[in-house]
Amino acid sequence: MTVAEFLEYLDFKFPEQEPRAGDTLDTIMFKAGQRAVALQMRREFEASLKRKED
């Protein structure tokens, strides 16, 4: 699996979600944290590609 494929998997596994009725604050924050990690990994990967171009 390539890094790009792994990032696609993370986007699939941890999509942005709207809170559902009955979700606790802990659940909402946990899901938001999962998504934040996936987004940060993508930003770091894209930044590394840009550095290679420079």
3-state secondary structure 2-52: CHHHHHHHHHHHCCCCCCCCCCCHHHHHHHHHHHHHHHHHHHHHHHHHHHH
- Number of structural domains in the chain: 1
Higher pLDDT, 53 or 9: 9
Instruction: Give the range of the structural domain holding residue 27, as residue numbers without chain letter.
Output: 3-53
pLDDT of 52 reads 82
Q: What is the mean pLDDT of residues 19-34?
A: 96
Does pTM surpass 0.85?
A: no
